[in-house]
Chains A and B, each alone.
Chain A
């Protein structure tokens, strides 16, 4: 195996190099663009400063984060108990629900938006009662799978019985016993759902809601450079944070982590 590794190194290096070019050249070019100051013909953080100081900037970030957080809560509240029950009870419903969880992948978001537009009563639209639930549907295939895999990899029956025999009712069992054990899967689920909700645009804009993503488009009409600055931030910051996080956080020991 060691010899194979050595042989593959040059090819790997070339691949990484090409990938890096592919990824970073547009990013850097855009970054350069965003720090141009057309009025003075030089460079500066003008657009970024403008973006951050816009009152709407903070407002919309908070709004989007709030919607994303609600989505995450809905996701966990519905999926963790349901999946726990499915795993424990060996219910015949499991294949059905497994299949249903994949359906949102089949439906293009645009089509879903059309369906949503004609389906929900006015009073529910544009409230927290609607949008997070739709985001939940969009994130469902990924969240469901992450939690499903997490629950499959633990001795669920034993743990829950241990919890119950120690006196915890179902609710407490889930919160204090099960969720901590699958915290890796829960973290992934939270991350996926949160990221998806924050970045969702299509559904949001077609149904005339206001979130950070739609606000950026709106900004672009008057201030393209400002919008670009905001876009760069929303792209680069998660990118860097994730890269950093995965480099720092040690991986759980698996067969491949050699």
Chain B
């Protein structure tokens, strides 16, 4: 045995030896941590840090103070509103559609709808905005059809760039998103439970009241939360359709980033970003928590 090996062996046995950090246990995780840390954690921490800096790099809360005033305050309110409304408008129809598709649809149909919903749910931004401009814009074909049917949607103050208009467009990706994320919950409703309930004397109504809906409820709430986060954070579509008339936080941040809007506080955008993260986290973290709990009886 070489001296090196003997020393090493000694170190292994000797209780006074310096505690070894067993590198091999954690080494394989290094690539992941390196990439994830550098490209994700680092920017986020830096964002949080800078949001507390004033123009001359002093620690301050002034960015946040400004962020809570107009016009940013309205921006937050509008963003939260559009998140809530688009989630509410999409959640119920989406849940019902998911129910019928998963319960009664043949396998091929379910998969096809799943895939198509995937495409639609990720249809964001610019193509979607253009598509709706083409359909429901002032010159749009659908507008013309509706006009012919007697409903001039532009008679009032409607425009695609208004809150209502944006809401309608958001629905286009929120509804498929709901179908995608709620379907597993429907699938998890084993038909054994319905049969057992029937056998024990429950009518369909009683089954739904005592078993079905209580089981679906947490997933429904979770899905709603995710939809909210999705609507709240959406940028591209809003950017393409609005013309600066509708204050929305993502747009305001975008403006500050571009330098189109010059603010006296350089780091205002960062503060806005941090607040967006907080609001989004308020929705997504409960979503993840509920998903974790309900997965106990799903996907067995």
Direct contact of A and B (CB under 8 A): yes
Mark A residues whose CB is within 8 Å of B. Answer: 1, 4-5, 8-9, 11-12, 15-16, 18-19, 22-23, 25-34, 74, 78-79, 81-82, 85-86, 89, 91, 93, 97, 100, 102-120, 133-134, 136-137, 140, 195-196, 199, 201-202, 205-206, 213, 216-217, 220, 224, 227-228, 231-232, 234-235, 238-239, 242-243, 245-247, 251, 256-258
Give the docked Cα–Cα distance between A33 and B225 (Å).
35
Which residue of B has the minimal Cβ distance to A100?
Answer: B36
Contacts of A25 in B (CB 8 A): 135, 142
Q: Is the CB of B40 within 8 A of A102?
A: no
Give the docked Cα–Cα distance between A206 and B191 (Å).
48
Give the docked Cα–Cα distance between A104 and B128 (Å).
23
Query: Chain A nearest CB: distance from B12 CB in Å?
Result: 21
How many of chain B's residues have a CB under 8 angstroms from any CB in A? 81
CB within 8 Å for A81 and B123 given contacts A26-B142, A108-B232, A110-B235 = no
14 residue pairs of the A-B complex, CB under 8 angstroms, read A5-B104, A9-B104, A22-B175, A33-B135, A33-B139, A78-B35, A105-B229, A108-B233, A112-B40, A140-B36, A196-B122, A213-B125, A251-B107, A256-B107
Query: Chain A nearest CB: distance from B224 CB in Å?
Result: 15
Contacts of B269 in A (CB 8 A): 114
Which chain B residues numbered 227 to 255 have a C-beta less than 8 Å away from chain A?
A: 229, 232-233, 235-236, 240, 249-250, 253-254
Q: Is the CB of A93 within 8 A of B29?
A: yes
Stretch binding the partner chain, chosen from B64-72, B207-215, B273-281: B273-281
Query: B219 in the interface, Cβ–Cβ < 8 Å?
Result: no
Give the docked Cα–Cα distance between A106 and B40 (Å).
12
CB within 8 Å for A114 and B131 given contacts A11-B104, A91-B29, A202-B125 = no
Q: Is the CB of B127 within 8 A of A33?
A: no
Q: Is the CB of B127 within 8 A of A234?
A: yes
Give the docked Cα–Cα distance between A27 and B132 (Å).
8
Contacts of A116 in B (CB 8 A): 39, 43
Query: Chain A nearest CB: distance from B176 CB in Å?
Result: 8
| 8 A-B pairs with least C-beta separation | A115-B43, A8-B104, A108-B233, A29-B135, A115-B47, A33-B134, A30-B134, A231-B127
CB within 8 Å for A258 and B107 given contacts A82-B31, A231-B127, A247-B112 = yes
Contacts of B36 in A (CB 8 A): 100, 137, 140
Stretch binding the partner chain, chosen from B54-62, B94-102, B147-155: B94-102
Query: Chain B nearest CB: distance from A220 CB in Å?
Result: 7
Q: Is the CB of A91 within 8 A of B250?
A: no
Query: Chain B nearest CB: distance from A185 CB in Å?
Result: 15
Contacts of A114 in B (CB 8 A): 47, 253, 257, 269-270, 273
Query: B172 in the interface, Cβ–Cβ < 8 Å?
Result: yes
Query: B136 in the interface, Cβ–Cβ < 8 Å?
Result: yes
Which chain B residues numbered 175 to 224 have a C-beta less than 8 Å away from chain A?
A: 175, 187, 191
Q: Is the CB of A119 within 8 A of B42?
A: yes
Contacts of A136 in B (CB 8 A): 35, 39
Contacts of B28 in A (CB 8 A): 81-82, 85, 89
Stretch binding the partner chain, chosen from B3-11, B13-21, B113-121: B113-121
Query: Chain A nearest CB: distance from B277 CB in Å?
Result: 5
Which chain B residues numbered 32 to 86 have a C-beta less than 8 Å away from chain A?
A: 32, 35-36, 39-40, 42-44, 46-47, 50
